[in-house]
Structure 1
Amino acid sequence: MLAPMPTPMTDATYTERIAFVVDLARHLHAYGTTAQRMEGAIESVARRLALDCQPWSNPTGVILAFSDPLRPAGESDTTRVIRLGPGDTHLRKLCEADRIAEEVISGRMGVSAGRAALGNLDRPDSRRARAMQAVGFALASASVAGLLRLPWLDIATSGAIGFLIGLLALAAQSRPRLSEAFEALAGLLAGAVAILVSSVVGPLNLNTVIIASLIVLLPGMSLTLAANELTSRHLVSGTARFAGALMVIVTLTIGTAIALGVANAAGVTPQVRALRPQPEWVVWCALAVAAYAFAVLFRAHRRDYPRVMAAVIGGYLISRFSGEWLGPPAGVFLAALAATAAGNAYARWFNRPGALLRLPGIIILVPGSISLRGVISLVQSQDLGAGGAAAMAALNTLMALLAGLIFGNLLVSARRNL
């Protein structure tokens, strides 16, 4: 005898269904979902719950307009405005929110139980998880320095600064005033420690060490997502996200410039060198460490670490070797194309968010470090032409990434919005 099919969860009250969709939108926004994907996901869930919903998302809030299609027009109209801070990527909670939504719309979980399950996601991370975030900062900074073939002193300095910035990030989570100045303080810390080490211990590739130590904070992903939103005609969200990313770069540069200015006023002269002596095996070790670091920083579930790490490694390998053959922009384009197509295919076949592969696959390609290098060069030389080459390189990288995202979605269509 066949088991009965689950019934849609339309037996919940109109208010309860609205409350579930509002909670889901708030959580998806908090986990770094872009405007077009979040709006598509919310519309799909609302439709399955017998609601008409018109969502409008931007990086700092969501507006949801609801109505009941079974009642006369205008009789049941309800609008919810949710003021939120900029979201941050949290793959484990994103996957869990997606699973809860699937359970509710399939009838396997009630609407009230779904709201309770979403509420459980608001619990703060454990002390161990927060400590791992600080370790992730250190590993990411050190591994990026290794990928750039910097000397061992540079790698160690980048890792140490990254760990200190990770501790600063943890402190800023519970201190609003510290959070407002976090990027400037991080740039100041990175510049001060790098100058101190290069003056007392030994010469460094100074600017490159500073950039490697700040790699986690660089808004390259935000720049890429902003451009993607703009091409999707989400003009307000894309413009706001783009402006926010530029301000992060400027704020990081301000902190670094203060450190350089104070050192110059105090007569401290850092020893600077341009040396990249590491052999090939260091690059491969650094790539493995970077893949693990980004799995930690993206806060994926442990069972998803292999997938996230494989996506990071795959993105790097495709961009590197195809870039050597066809040129760097082509390498970035092909890597972004592969990451987007793989994420969409994974979502279609395994009924889980494609962000598990898509975001890690492009994280190592984003143009944030190039942008910061250009602004730092501009500030140091006070010459608009000094950062021109870096700005053009960042623009080329951004265009190649954007093209990869667009054509990746054409190559394998996204059955799921997330």
Structure 2
Amino acid sequence: MDTREFIQIRKFIVKLGKMLHRYGTPAFRLEAYLTEVATYLGVRASFISTPTSLTFVLWSDKHEEEYNSAARLQPGDLDLNALSRTDELAMQLLNGQLTLSEADQQLDEIDAMPSLYGKLITLVAFGLATSAFAMLMGASVNEIMWSGVLGLVTYIWAVWATRSKRVNLMLEPVTSFGSGLLACAISRYLDPGINIPLIVLSSVIILVPGLALTMGLAELASRNMVSGTARIMDALMQLFKLYFGAFLGVAIGFTLFGENQYQPAVSLPYWATWLSVLLLSIALVAIFRTRPKHIVWGIASSFVAYGATVGSSLLMDQTLATFIGAFVLGIFSNLFTRIANQPATIVSMHGLIVLVPGSKTYIGLNSFISGKNFVQADHIGQEVFLIFMSLVAGLIFANVVMPTKKAL
């Protein structure tokens, strides 16, 4: 391998790694995928990925050429459209359908590609997702409506955070603070007796890091100690910031508008929970930027995960039911990889959102600090821990039973 060819290969691998990191790829998947690509391209490689950094070590077979690079990166956000297209591009390169220069150019095009759904559709998706979550939590019709309205406000803050570093640094506390303050104002002037903590949680549920906690535990299970620990601590800090902002917002709201007296309203019937799963999975299509050809797979994964969990809960404990749900989701995701030749992450993330106990983590934190539950929840701390463990174990067992064909 001559120097010019080695430089082309290492430039492509570095750019590919940075892009996949930006799209929220877990460390163990990113490292394994880059190693596969490097092997196909004829170079030896070692990678170290964390939520905020990525290290590359590349060398030729006989060490004629060597290259080291360390990049400081921001934690990535899920972009399933870009992830899918990047994987397709890498496969075309490895199959000889593209040259390295063509692949490098197309990587730049994918990186510059805007969201498929635009800001208006994403705004509606935020409102739909927060309303669907409130419905899933057994809220009344009015509480579902107000959760959706405040979810739109959350999206406005999220868009502002992409344009301002200061807002980005304080996104979680300022968003939950605003939701708490507005919920108190709504209770005082428009709709007395609403469940304010539930509305606040629903309105910021997209920012609650339940998925990040699950990914961190999965990284620890794969012995990516640094990345897993860092991701878990970052997720816990986000959770603390969300709770503190909500606590402060509600406290100031009660001072300004008077304390709210919660009056339980009639919840929707049981079938509404299935409707909420459908609405939530549809909203996640725009939030995760899922490609149109994968929409049906993504929605189906939500129902597969939720249906397996609910069905199993009729016969066993909720924790074991979550294990079954995660196991079935893992099988379904790996089956998708074999059929569509696309990363399992594309569909597994949709199903995991329904299963991860991010909301229960928030509720447990509230119970620990205030001593009060705004929804019925007994032994919430133990339940959250066991559910997280069941999720990780279910996905691991699924990969043993039906190994995935792709590292991503």
| TM-score of Structure 1 vs Structure 2, range by shorter chain | over 0.9
Aligned to 1:22: 14
Letter in 2 for 1:227: L
Partner Cα distance (1:275, 1:53) in 2: 60
Give the 3-state SS of the residue equivalent to 1:56 in structure 2. Answer: strand
Deviates more, 1:234-243 or 1:335-344: 335-344
Q: SS at the partner of 1:33?
A: coil
Q: Please name the residue that 2:142 is paired with.
A: 153
Provide TM-score, normalisation by structure 1.
0.92
Quote the offset at 1:128 in angstroms: 5.2
Instruction: Tell me the distance in 2 between the aligned counterparts of 1:57 and 1:127.
Output: 28
1:127–1:291 CA distance, 2 compared to 1 (3 A): closer
Match of 2:181?
A: 192
Quote how far apart the aligned CAs of 1:282 are. 2.6
Which moves more between the two structures, 187-196 or 234-243?
187-196
SS state at 1:150 partner: coil
1:224-373 equivalent positions in 2, closer than 5 A? 224-266=214-256, 268-373=258-363
**Does structure 2 retain, via aligned residues, the 8 Å contact 1:205–1:275?**
no
Distance 1:127 1:172 in 2: 20
- Structure 1 residue 389: Cα displacement: 2.7
**Alignment-mate amino acid for residue 328 of structure 1:** Q
- Which residue number corresponds to residue 82 of structure 2? 93
1:137-216 alignment, distance < 5 Å: 137-200=126-189, 201-216=191-206
Cα deviation, residue 167, structure 1 = 1.3
2-structure distance, mates of 1:332, 1:274: 29
Q: Report Cα offsets for 1:164-190 as digits up to 9, x if no partner.
A: 101110111111111000001111122
Equivalent position of 1:5 in the other structure: none
> For 2:315, what is the secondary structure of its paired residue?
helix
**Counterpart secondary structure, 1:416:** coil
Amino acid at match of 2:284: F
Compute the TM-score of the two structures, normalised by the length of structure 2: 0.94
Structure 1 stretches of at least 4 aligned residues deviating more than 4 Å after TM superposition: 9-12
Counterpart position of 1:136? 125
Evaluate the alpha carbon distance shift between residue 411 and residue 251 of structure 1 in structure 2; reply closer, same or farther with a 3 A threshold.
Answer: same
Q: Look up the match of 2:112.
A: 123
Q: Which residue of 2 aligns with 1:6?
A: none
Counterpart amino acid of 1:87? G
1:373 deviates by 1.0
Read off the aligned partner of 1:303 and give its amino acid letter.
K
CA contact (8 A) 1:377 1:387 kept: no
Q: Distance in 2 between matches of 1:271 and 1:127?
A: 43
Aligned to 1:4: none
CA contact (8 A) 1:198 1:271 kept: no
Q: Is the 8 A contact 1:185 1:255 kept in 2?
A: yes
Give the AA of the match of 2:37: V
Paired residue for 2:92?
103
Question: Distance in 1 between the 2:57 and 2:214 partners?
Answer: 28
Query: What is the distance in 2 between the residues matched to 1:83 and 1:364?
Result: 32
Q: Is the Cα contact below 8 Å between 2:301 and 2:329 reproduced in 1?
A: yes
- Kindly tell me: are residues 365 and 206 of structure 1, through their superposed partners in 2, closer, same or farther at Cα, counting changes over 3 Å? same
Counterpart CA distance in 1 for 2:319 and 2:55 is 38
Between the aligned partners of 1:415 and 1:402, the Cα distance in structure 2 is 19
Secondary structure, aligned partner of 1:299: coil
Alpha-carbon distance, 1:404 to partner: 0.7
The alpha carbon displacement at 1:206 in A equals 2.2
Q: Gaps spanning 5+ residues in structure 1: where? A: 1-8
**Alignment partner for residue 380 of structure 1, among 359, 370, 373?**
370
Alignment partners' CA distance in 2, 1:319 and 1:206? 29
AA aligned to 1:62 is L
**2:402 is matched with which residue?**
412
Q: Which amino acid aligns with 2:276?
A: A
Letter in 2 for 1:397: I
1:46 corresponds to which letter in structure 2? A
Cα contact 1:335–1:361 (8 A) shared by 2: no
1:298 is displaced (CA, Å) by 1.1
- Deviation readout 1:45-94 (Å, 9 max, x if unpaired): 0011111110110001100001011x3x3x42210112111011111110
- CA distance in 2 between partners of 1:375 and 1:258 (Å): 15
Equivalent position SS for 2:206: coil
Aligned-residue Cα RMSD (Å) equals: 2.1
Please report how far the alpha carbon of residue 276 of structure 1 lies from its aligned counterpart in structure 2 after TM superposition: 4.9
Q: 1:345 to 1:124 in 2, by over 3 A?
A: closer
* C-alpha contact (below 8 Å) 2:82/2:111 kept by paired residues: no
User: CA, structure 1 residues 167+10, in 2 after alignment: closer, same or farther (shift >3 Å)?
Assistant: farther
Q: Give the match for residue 51 of structure 2.
A: 59
Runs (5+) with no aligned partner, structure 2: none
**Contact 2:115 2:289 (C-alpha < 8 Å) held by counterparts:** no
Percent of residue pairs bearing the same amino acid type:
26
SS at match of 1:266: helix
Structure 1 pair 10–112 and aligned structure 2 pair: CA distance change class (3 A): farther
